[in-house]
Amino acid sequence: ETLQAQYAKQNKIEVTEADFTRMIADLEKQNNIPPGSFQQTLKSKNVPIESAMDQLRARVLMQKIIRRAVLPY
As a whole number, mean pLDDT of residues 1-17 equals 89
In whole angstroms, what is the distance from residue 55 CA to residue 69 CA? 21
In whole angstroms, what is the distance from residue 41 CA to residue 30 CA? 14
As a whole number, mean pLDDT of residues 51-68 equals 92
**For residue 72, what pLDDT is reported?**
64
**pLDDT 10s digits, 30-58:** 999 999 999 999 999 999 999 999 999 99
State the chain's maximal CA–CA distance in angstroms: 42
